[in-house]
Structure 1
């Protein structure tokens, strides 16, 4: 006989389900996380540092499974805490950008080590937020620029509260060869040095080139005056010291090579340029270079300049008259244009020629000639982020920037 209770069971009906029919809401866990978010964001006067740290250590474990709104509130609360727990800061700094962005841009608890670690672990959106911070130091801007991200570099250059190292500027100069937006931003930076600017010139646009010439094309009157007696000493030694000779060549007042003119079959630079009207070959370019007191490599770079403004600098530096400059332009088979407007290469070149003083043009030409140094021969690919690049001599460093294909 069946038990009495069995008669009350309807065996034809399925048993009730064991799983929950309503989603379980971890109310207590969420409440703990929310309360801890408040506690860690209390001012320093309200909670001891060790208790804040304990709360932060517990909170990190809870945030891993918390919703984005709670994480966002936590990050917002941490923005003004100077002694914020580092582990929690770094955790939130690597969250999705809606959580990390405001904290990365405005959080006061970070130090350079935190920021650099976040740059190395982050993505472009995080780099961009960091690049907008006030008071970016040289090590941090170095790390941001080393990412190679152009929008990040643009943000760093636009940030008036950022500071760039010489190495960082080198990185931007090299990168700007493939990023046309960077030269216009870089030329306004106070950290840009003349040697870097006059290398940047070669691939900058017209407006950036004008800025470079107006800012860095200076005369050498003080150096000429103060080193005047040294020229006599070097001449008395027969210019035997190569380093002294090269140094004084950068400073001296005279641009043309009189000794070369005395030996030249053309008699003068003007004679060589007159011959160029019948055709300009490699040998004649070398002759023009020697007569102008520059290396053939320098002359070749100038004559091949894409914009043409370098030709205007060259012609002004060597003391040519405007008609001879126009004749050289024609001999080089450069595009024809209206010399009275700046909407074409010839017009922009003439503008540079007309507005640049001879002494200032000579300074620019000397810098360029210095950059095309034999010391740069067979340069390997240079990574300007490496500390070793800072040990190069200045001419070699300039040439490395000029010939580097980084970027």
Structure 2
């Protein structure tokens, strides 16, 4: 009981109202804990928990930050203190949320449901992040927070979480890099992203696919096809557009002029379906190529389909028809198209065509 006696003596000294004295006392109690570390859930540990928690409430943020840093790495840290610090200001909470093994999964889930982005980001940096916690972070986190999670190899991600992040990545470059570079990102997710990401990331995907067994790629495309079908199943507009395409094909009017007219008139769903039919990619790929800011995917698809430069430039200009610089950029767009080789386009497109063939 010598430790309890010494601890009580220190607590008696806490009657001074000086903030400096309270800070010193907090440090002395902390030193005593590490000198005579009590067993977990013992009476001594409980007494330390009460004293440290009470003193922490009476000290400034920087003192609590120091306290958090000291206790974040020990598995015997008083649980009540850890929970209190983990829900404090981020300067205090950060070390606990990112390192403490005292926090259970349920503790972290509870904090994640009511915390801001800084706290979620700190949890995303833990050596191990469970699937449940990852799901919550992705659901509540902004793109910067989710990118931190995806960049952490110790984070476990469910299939549903991968699909959620990949859909968000369609319009977020912040998410694209971490998702493409993550070692266990599913192959079909990567295939979906090839028409979304910048050239250097697309090259990274193709290099990874070069070392994958073709049978595994076939399986990935089947999964991708099933997910695509599920996404389109309830889209009546797409179904009507597909009927329109069949009608135009029978009348031999499925050509560049029709495509340009639909894009000019703003009939986006029909335009996407026509573009998909003419190029051999699926609807999602066609939609991404015609809507996203990067011009590279559109150039790859058009080159692979054998579109002439004039049609590519027309599509590239019309998709951003409200831009004042669109027509001034036509010459530059033509030069870009000339630089895309047929071999590069074919290599990039073979995965979408494989998925399209499976869907057919």
TM-score, scaled relative to structure 2: 0.63
Secondary structure of 1:187's aligned partner: helix
For structure 2, which runs of at least 5 residues remain unmatched after alignment? 1-15, 220-225, 230-245, 263-269, 318-328
Which of 87, 90, 101 does residue 97 from structure 1 map onto? 90
Q: State yes or no: 1:363 paired with 2:351.
A: yes
1:1-400 maps to which residues of 2 (within 5 A)?
A: 24-25=17-18, 33-42=26-35, 47=39, 49-50=41-42, 51-216=44-209, 222=215, 266=252, 276=256, 280-282=260-262, 302=289, 306-314=293-301, 320=306, 324-326=307-309, 328-330=311-313, 332=315, 334=317, 336-337=330-331, 344=336, 346=337, 350-351=340-341, 353-357=342-346, 361-367=349-355
Distance in 2, matches of 1:153 and 1:63, equals: 31
| 8 Å CA contact 1:317, 1:365 repeated in 2 | no
Distance in 2, matches of 1:67 and 1:299, equals: 57
Tell which structure's C-alpha radius of gyration is larger: 1
Q: What per-residue deviation string (whole Å, max 9, x for no partner) do you get for residues 175-221 of structure 1?
A: 33443322122211123223333443454333334434444589996
Distance in 1, matches of 2:66 and 2:216, equals: 61
**Larger RCO: 1 or 2 (CA < 8 Å, sep 6+):** 1
Q: What per-residue deviation string (whole Å, max 9, x for no partner) do you get for residues 350-392 of structure 1?
A: 24x432446x623323436879x9xxxxxxxxxxxxxxxxxxx
| 8 Å CA contact 2:302, 2:312 repeated in 1 | no
TM-score, scaled relative to structure 1: 0.57
Distance in 2, matches of 1:63 and 1:299, equals: 58
Q: CA 1:302 to 1:80, structure 2 compared with 1: closer, same or farther past 3 Å?
A: closer
1:380 is matched with none
Distance in 2, matches of 1:105 and 1:300, equals: 39
Q: CA 1:42 to 1:135, structure 2 compared with 1: closer, same or farther past 3 Å?
A: farther
Q: CA 1:354 to 1:39, structure 2 compared with 1: closer, same or farther past 3 Å?
A: same
Q: CA 1:305 to 1:328, structure 2 compared with 1: closer, same or farther past 3 Å?
A: farther
| 8 Å CA contact 2:127, 2:155 repeated in 1 | yes
For structure 1, which runs of at least 5 residues remain unmatched after alignment? 1-22, 227-242, 247-259, 374-407
Distance in 2, matches of 1:284 and 1:80, equals: 57
Shift in Å, 1:75 = 1.8
Distance in 2, matches of 1:176 and 1:160, equals: 18
Distance in 2, matches of 1:62 and 1:224, equals: 59
Distance in 2, matches of 1:169 and 1:308, equals: 26
Secondary structure of 2:173's aligned partner: coil
Shift in Å, 1:55 = 1.6
Larger mean Cα displacement after TM superposition, 216-225 or 178-187: 216-225
Q: What per-residue deviation string (whole Å, max 9, x for no partner) do you get for residues 211-260 of structure 1?
A: 3444458999658999xxxxxxxxxxxxxxxx9xx9xxxxxxxxxxxxx9
Q: CA 1:64 to 1:333, structure 2 compared with 1: closer, same or farther past 3 Å?
A: closer
